Structure 1
């Protein structure tokens, strides 16, 4: 959706305004979270296990 608002404004001569609204999310059950995170990280080319807390504390 990046650039979509600019494209709409360009196509309408600046007479249209676009925005989005979050439709909501449901919490993933705790027992499924680790597997979902691992799959997403692998898809993005990262190691399946996330960094530990000490990594983020040092940022």
Structure 2
């Protein structure tokens, strides 16, 4: 049975694990994540700090 917050124990555990991992990664580093779920696989690459103007502008089309 849920605790009324709408967040499952698995979600809380995952969020706690991600919080611990984020504390270990410097803010300027890029992170790559791979999810190998049965139904849908995914790869995500992100920068922990995203600020406007940090990257080169997109080329005009």
TM-score of the aligned structures, taking structure 1 as reference length: 0.24
- Higher RCO by CA contacts (8 Å cutoff, separation 6 or greater): 2
Between structures 1 and 2, the one with greater helix share: 1
Between structures 1 and 2, the one with greater strand share: 2
Q: Which has the larger radius of gyration?
A: 1
TM-score of the aligned structures, taking structure 2 as reference length: 0.24
